């Protein structure tokens, strides 16, 4: 098991071994979460700050719970109530948090590269919780964890990522992680949202939904990222649903044991039919559960924890 990093900024620069180290460490933490006493003292005395400058439900709360389960002190920074509103810069904000002895700063920001910038100006560890359309590394790690748990192996696994790829940090991090792990990744959606340039990342691009669904062992659905799209990339949501939505009729094309995934938040009736989101194929809420174990693993590893302490070899 290898991990010598102070920060988690992206998946692109991680090795396959480092990705596997996080997944195996997360497996050990998932087992801890199933015990009567779910807390461990790995981060006792450490201060973790959730610096979220963009909205979040799943990522922010699971990092908060992960820090608590590791016995760290955790502070949730609220951008709306902060002096960012008075013109303070991100750098000054983060350096003030560090002056309060923050050991780990978890940042979500609309600007791609914001976590990398903070890692250069702070002594604290930095974790990327989503930066613009660039990367969302812990989402990709929890998605990969869930796929491995359900399907056993990445070798020969066909993963279709369907939706707004162009503006999706989840898609980019998933592509990096899954191609390193040996899965075959197909990207599907309208050409305006799935440009052929993505083939350079080692995946297939397909603008017809039926073949992309038929071949998939896993379908990872993405919502339309309205907050990042700069102009209309398709005529209407109704047209998007009729051409690319996972409807009941399209579900009949899929393999009998297909896994339906979505990072959330889901838009029921747009990219996914509501009944499919709640069906036995869906592991959307299991992804959320696994996110806690993955984020415990990330905090543990960047704090210098050794997986061997948890019995992980
Ligand atoms: N998947 C995800 O990042 O969800 P949140 O925006 O709610 O954190």
Dump the DSSP string for 270-292. Answer: TTB-HHHHTSTTB-HHHHHHHHH
With beta carbons less than 8 A apart as the criterion, state whether 308 and 1 touch: yes
Q: How confident is the model at residue 261 (pLDDT cuts 50, 70, 90)?
A: very high
Q: What is the rounded distance in angstroms from the CA atom of residue 73 to the CA atom of residue 115? A: 21
Name the token pair of 219.
Answer: 């379908």
In the chain, % helix, strand, coil (3-state, to 5) comes to 45, 15, 40
Residue with tokens 């969302």: 136
Indicate if ligand 1 lies below 6 Å from the C-beta of 179: no
User: Average pLDDT for residues 251-261, to the nearest whole number?
Assistant: 98
Q: What is the rounded distance in angstroms from the CA atom of residue 89 to the CA atom of residue 270? A: 37
Note the pLDDT tens digit of each residue in 17-43. 999 999 999 999 999 999 999 999 999
User: Average pLDDT for residues 222-235, to the nearest whole number?
Assistant: 74
Residue closest to 173 by CA, chosen among 132, 116, 234, 219: 132
Counted residue by residue, the chain has a size of 313
Atom 3 of ligand 1: nearest residue by CA position: 59
With beta carbons less than 8 A apart as the criterion, state whether 57 and 31 touch: no
CA neighbours closer than 13 Å in the CB half-sphere of residue 243: 14
Name the helix (H) or strand (E) containing 144. Answer: helix 137-151
Using most ligand atoms within 8 A of CB, pick from 57, 138, 170, 291 the residue to mutate for ligand 1: 57
Domain range summary for the chain, segments of one domain joined by +: 16-135+291-310, 137-287
16-135+291-310 and 137-287 have identical folds: yes
Question: What pLDDT is attached to residue 297?
Answer: 98
Note the pLDDT tens digit of each residue in 53-90. 999 999 999 999 999 999 999 999 989 999 999 999 99
* DSSP-derived 3-state class of residue 107: strand
Residue closest to 246 by CA, chosen among 229, 271, 223, 216: 271
Q: What is the rounded distance in angstroms from the CA atom of residue 214 to the CA atom of residue 199? A: 20
Q: How confident is the model at residue 2 (pLDDT cuts 50, 70, 90)?
A: confident
**CA 54 to ligand 1 centroid distance, Å:** 10
Looking at the predicted structure, is the pLDDT value of residue 255 above 70?
A: yes
Q: How confident is the model at residue 311 (pLDDT cuts 50, 70, 90)?
A: confident
CATH pick for 16-135+291-310 out of 3.40.50.300, 3.40.50.1370, 3.40.50.720, 3.30.420.10:
3.40.50.1370
**CA 79 to ligand 1 centroid distance, Å:** 16
Question: What pLDDT is attached to residue 230?
Answer: 58
Atom of ligand 1 nearest to the CA of 54: 6
* DSSP-derived 3-state class of residue 10: coil
Atom 5 of ligand 1: nearest residue by CA position: 56
> What DSSP string runs through 158-174?
EEEEES--TT-HHHHHH
Atom 1 of ligand 1: nearest residue by CA position: 263
Query: 137-287, which class in CATH?
Result: alpha beta
Indicate if ligand 1 lies below 6 Å from the C-beta of 58: yes
Question: What pLDDT is attached to residue 235?
Answer: 74
H helices within 222-265, ranges in order?
237-244, 248-251
Question: What pLDDT is attached to residue 229?
Answer: 65
Name the token pair of 33.
Answer: 């979460």
| Exposed / middle / buried, residue 244 (Cβ in 10 Å: 0-12, 13-18, 19+) | buried
**CA 312 to ligand 1 centroid distance, Å:** 28
Using most ligand atoms within 8 A of CB, pick from 50, 265, 289 the residue to mutate for ligand 1: 265
Note the pLDDT tens digit of each residue in 153-209. 999 999 999 999 999 999 999 999 999 999 999 999 999 999 999 999 999 999 999
* DSSP-derived 3-state class of residue 79: helix
**CA 309 to ligand 1 centroid distance, Å:** 30
Question: What pLDDT is attached to residue 313?
Answer: 75
**CA 33 to ligand 1 centroid distance, Å:** 21
Indicate if ligand 1 lies below 6 Å from the C-beta of 57: yes
């Amino acid at each position: 098991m290898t991990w010598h990093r102070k920060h988690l900024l992206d998946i692109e620069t991680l090795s396959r071994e480092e990705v596997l180290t996080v997944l195996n460490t997360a497996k050990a933490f998932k087992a801890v979460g199933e015990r009567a006493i779910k807390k461990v003292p790995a981060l006792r005395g450490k201060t973790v700050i959730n610096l979220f400058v963009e909205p979040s439900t799943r990522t922010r709360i699971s990092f908060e719970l992960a820090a608590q389960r590791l016995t760290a002190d955790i502070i949730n920074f609220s951008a709306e109530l902060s002096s960012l509103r008075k013109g303070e810069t991100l750098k000054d904000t983060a350096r003030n948090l560090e002056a309060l002895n923050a050991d780990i700063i978890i940042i979500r920001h609309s600007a791609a590269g914001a976590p990398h910038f903070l890692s250069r100006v702070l002594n604290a560890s930095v974790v990327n919780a989503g930066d613009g359309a660039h990367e969302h590394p812990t989402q990709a790690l929890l998605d990969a964890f869930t796929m491995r748990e359900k399907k056993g192996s990445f070798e020969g696994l066909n993963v279709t990522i369907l939706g707004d790829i162009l503006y999706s940090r989840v898609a980019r991090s998933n592509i990096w992680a899954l191609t390193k792990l040996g899965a075959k990744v197909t990207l599907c959606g309208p050409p305006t949202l799935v440009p052929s340039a993505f083939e350079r990342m080692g995946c297939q691009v397909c603008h017809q939904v039926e073949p992309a669904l038929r071949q998939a062992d896993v379908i990872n659905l993405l919502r339309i990222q309205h907050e990042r799209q700069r102009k209309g990339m398709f005529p209407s949501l109704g047209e998007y649903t009729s051409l690319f939505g996972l409807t009941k009729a399209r579900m009949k094309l899929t393999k009998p044991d297909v896994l339906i995934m979505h990072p959330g938040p889901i838009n029921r009736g747009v990219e996914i039919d509501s009944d499919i989101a709640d069906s036995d194929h869906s592991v959307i809420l299991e992804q959320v559960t696994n996110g806690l174990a993955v984020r415990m693993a990330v905090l543990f590893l960047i704090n210098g924890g050794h997986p061997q302490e948890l019995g992980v070899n």
